[in-house]
Amino acid sequence: MRLVGWRSEVTLSSARRRRARRESAAGSRAGPRPAPVTTLPAQFDEWQIELHGRRVIYRVAGSGPPVVLIHGMLNSSSHWRSVALSLASEHTVIAPDLIGHGDSAAPRGDYSLGAHAASIRDLLAAIGVDRATIVGHSLGGGVAMQFFYQFPQRVERLVLVSSGGLGRDVSPLLRTAALPGVSGALSLTINPRLLRALRSGGERLRARGVPAGIYLQAIARALAPLENADARGAFLHTLRSVIDIHGQRVSANDRLYLLESMPTLIVWGGRDNTIPLQHGRSAHEAIPGSRFHVLDSAAHFPHLEDPDGLSQALRDFIASTEPALIEDGDWGSILERRSPRSRRLGVAEG
């Protein structure tokens, strides 16, 4: 596996590694031995890449089989820090900033789930990752499912954390944010004074051991980019692609059967008031062989509210499952079994 932009400047392709082993076995006649691959540092390094002329930020930690962490609405790759460092001893962890989120570019363009999934595919292809365990939180869960749907051959396992796209219900706050005119209200509401109040309030609550403090700090981090007009536009385009006044507009429920041969873990916060816990239970029942894990102390941000619990659930799941490999022929077989067809008889009208 080759990762472009890592600190290791001496990264060997698989072909070069095979050649190096042959030369080493041949002894001194093969010439100087190749420099060893540098072990990655135990930190969550930030990198920038230009994809299609646009800036994409991603963070990397560790080494080993790759795990991709996809953040949710108004979040960024930095929110995965605790989980990424926990997994880094056994895995290469890659966390992108979705387009329009974090420090990635926020162009005028397509912010659908399919566009986000394609952007992640392009990032992974550019840094040399062919297949990975894909983990998605909230909106990122919808992106992860769309990634599987579009590129099943690139997915080894799927993990959905308090995921969107599994039912209509969603918090009134998100439904309201999808209304026309919200952009102007956000430009007036989001200001440094509000953000400071949220951060300080979160710090005081956390100091008193109140879990809501973490939630407030997460909101402050999420809202900070919305001071920028381009980021506000990207947020609203993304939001309205999946949510309207009636709730979630996009659902994967009619296609969950496609995951029958994909190791799937569903994790939910037991106190989640943003997306109902029942969405996770129903998806678990619909996906053959899936696993369902509830983190009782967490609400909608398990990776922030209980990173140790989520990390342990991820490690246990990955260690106890074999990576899937779905080829084009396998995909056709899955669809064929669940897609009855019959010939339509009659005389075609001219």
Q: Which residues contact 296 (CB under 8 A, 6 or more apart)?
A: 270, 271
300 is catalytic: yes
Kind of pairing, strands 247-248 and 264-269? unpaired
DSSP state string for 245-281: TTEE----GGGGGGGGGS-EEEEEETT-SSS-HHHHH
What phi and psi, each to the nearest 5 degrees, are found at residue 97?
-85, 120
Q: Which residues contact 113 (CB under 8 A, 6 or more apart)?
A: 142, 143, 145, 146, 165, 241, 242, 250
How many Å apart are CA 171 and CA 131, to the nearest integer? Answer: 34
Catalytic residue among 76, 86, 119, 138: 138
Catalytic residue among 116, 300, 306, 311: 300
Of 286, 259, 82, the C-alpha closest to 167 is 286
44, amino acid identity? F
How many Å apart are CA 109 and CA 304, to the nearest integer? Answer: 30
Integer CA distances (angstroms), 89 to 20, 62, 63, 74, in order: 26, 6, 7, 28
Catalytic residue among 63, 86, 119, 272: 272
Cα 150–Cα 154–Cα 155 angle in degrees, nearest 5 = 90
User: Looking at the annotation, which residues are catalytic?
Assistant: 138, 272, 300
